Each structure stands twice: as C-alpha cells, then as structure tokens.
Amino acid sequence: MYSDYRELLEQKDIDAVYIGTPDHWHALMMIHASEAGKDIYVEKPVGNSIVECQTMTAAQKYHGNIVQAGQWQRSHKHFQDAVSFVHSGQLGSIRTVKVWCYQGWMKPQPVVANSAPPKGVDYASWLGPAPTLPFNSSRFHFHFRWFWDYAGGLMTDWGVHLLDYALLGMKASLPKTIVGLGGKYAYPDLSQETPDTLTTLYEFDGFNLVWDSAMGIDNGSYRRNHGIAFIGNNGTLVLDRNGWEVIEERRSKVNVLKPLQKKSDNGHANHQLNFINAIRDNKPDLLTCNIQDAAHVAKVAQMGNISYRANQKLIWEGSKDRFTDNKINKKYLSKEYHNGYKLPSIG
C-alpha cells in the first residue's frame, strides 16, 4: 500500500506500528514513528550500532510513547522462573556464565552474480540508509543477517535473546572489557561477511560471560543447540527455549538438583498481549521488554562484534558510554548513513 513508510505514519487512525524490517532500518523507523506519536513494537536487535541504540532510547524518553522490543523470551514463564532461581542464591557464587548458539539450519548462500531486483521489490527503499550496491540475492531476504551493512550475524540475531537472560540473571550492566575471536572457518567460500564461528569473552565485576556461536552445526553445550548456563559453586543452571534444569556440583553440600522444568506457555503470544495491554492502559511500565532494556543488550552484542572486527581487546568506559580507544569509537560506534538519510538528533 505504501512505498514510503512515512505516509503510513501520517495516518491519524493508526495507533501502533510493528517494525519487522532488516536491522538497518529499525532505528530510523522507530524514531520517526515516535515523532508521529505512534506506539511501537520493534524487532530485535533494536539498533544496528551503539549510537543507534542510544538515539532510540533518547527518542522514546523524549516523546514518551510505548515501545516494546521483540525479545519475547522475557514473556516466557520458564525463563522467568529460571532467573528467579538464579537470584535465589542456591547455585552459590556464579563466576562464569556461558551462552551458546549453534544453528545447523543457518548457512550463508552461495556466491551468485548481481541481478535485477525481483518484480515488485523497491530496492532503493529496501537499502534506505545503507550504502548503494547492486542487487544480489545472497544479501537479500533473511540472508541480510550476514552482512555488516544490514545486521550483525548470529551475535545480534540470536545473541540479543540469549545474552539478555545472561545479563538478567546476573543483574549486570555493561562489561569492562571485551574480546571477540572468530572467523569464516566453516564456509569461507559462501556469501557472508559476519563470522560463521565466534567466541567472545566479556569481563564483568565478579564474573566472566562467554558467547560461543557456530553456523551449520547443532551440537552445542549440554546437548543443546542454544542456551545459557549459570555455573555456580553448588550447581549449574542450564536454560533454553524448551525448559531449564539444575545440574548439581559433585562436591556440593547443598541439594540444588532440579530435573527439567519444561516450558508451559507461549512466550511469543504473551509478548504481543503484553504490548497491547500496555497500550490500552497507557502504561509503559507494564512492558516486558522496553526499549531501554533492549538497547542495553543490543549494545553488549555490538561490543562483541566490534572487538571481532577490530581484532583487539576493548575497554568500555561506562561513565562516557564509549570505548577508551577513540580510533575504535570513530570507526565503529556509529554507522554512516547514505542516500540522503540522517539519524535525527533528539530534543
């Protein structure tokens, strides 16, 4: 119906919008929708750079609208129950949190020649603020995820879901240091820029967080293709989308063994209902995952990618909301906008 989403935003009879575009469009659409007075559901990751995340949270604060992010695991009861168990202290001191994502069904596309866009595709609008490049089907639907212009690979696609619960469980803010190591080890000849294999170490006060991802294989830790493991002195809590359990430490003097607690509800459906109820009651505080929470984890995911791309250990300067290395800040903190688009200044 529209070739320009801003025409839709002009309609006064539209109260809320869903943003389910490739990641590189999320920030502009969310900010423009906020300016238009709409409530918003924006898919994850909310921003495609750290500066985009900062600007999106500033826009919501300035306009005061309701903005829910698509991190629907926050509305899954068994995820909530698992974090409550972590917070109970029964696991003992937690010094390591492991997060992994092994996705056997996710593979980059073969390298193909550029071509004309498919009939009905407004490719210029699809590109939007991204650099102008010839159309290539290996960079288009779904597979845009594997190119830095549009997204951030598995780290930002699944990472924001899984890292989110790692941070929630540890009540953690932002890391002190970040080291990302990986590469295109499995599919070096396929069409992608983001790594198919990545290990990232985040240093927080009192614990380390490890991210481990691999495309094309499913054999992840604890016989799961994805998950979060809180490793404590008394036991390890393992959590994924199917449920959670506690594996007791052999020398533990406290009984924390817990068999698999299976999922019991539909987190995705709960998340949509939560968004609608917050709109009906006009209460942003009802949201399960507001833009501030979503931007927090998206920044952590971006940090891992930036360390990998820069090939160096990074130190985050929390008081200034940036890295200590200004060369890194200049190159990676924000993304250059193209084709006449600009990230708005807020206020």
299 belongs to a structural domain: no
Cα–Cα dist 154/102, whole Å: 9
pLDDT at 185: 97
Task: Indicate which CATH number applies to the domain containing 222.
Answer: 3.30.360.10
326 belongs to a structural domain: no
pLDDT at 325: 98
Q: Where in the sequence is the domain holding 167, given as residue range(s)?
A: 89-112+138-262
- 27 and 52 in contact (C-beta within 8 Å)? yes
Q: What is the pLDDT of residues 162-221, one digit of tens each?
A: 999 999 999 999 999 999 999 999 999 999 999 999 999 999 999 999 999 999 999 999
pLDDT at 1: 81
Number of H helices, E strands in the chain: 10, 13
209 belongs to a structural domain: yes
pLDDT at 7: 95
pLDDT at 2: 86
273 belongs to a structural domain: no
Cα–Cα dist 176/11, whole Å: 45
282 belongs to a structural domain: no
Tally the domains of the chain. 1
248 half-sphere exposure, CB direction, 13 A CA radius = 10
239 belongs to a structural domain: yes
36 three-state secondary structure: coil
Residues lower than pLDDT 70 in the chain:
none
pLDDT at 253: 84
98 belongs to a structural domain: yes
94 three-state secondary structure: strand
Tokens 């939560």, residue located: 274
Whole-prediction pTM: 0.97
Cα–Cα dist 44/122, whole Å: 23
35 belongs to a structural domain: no
pLDDT at 3: 83
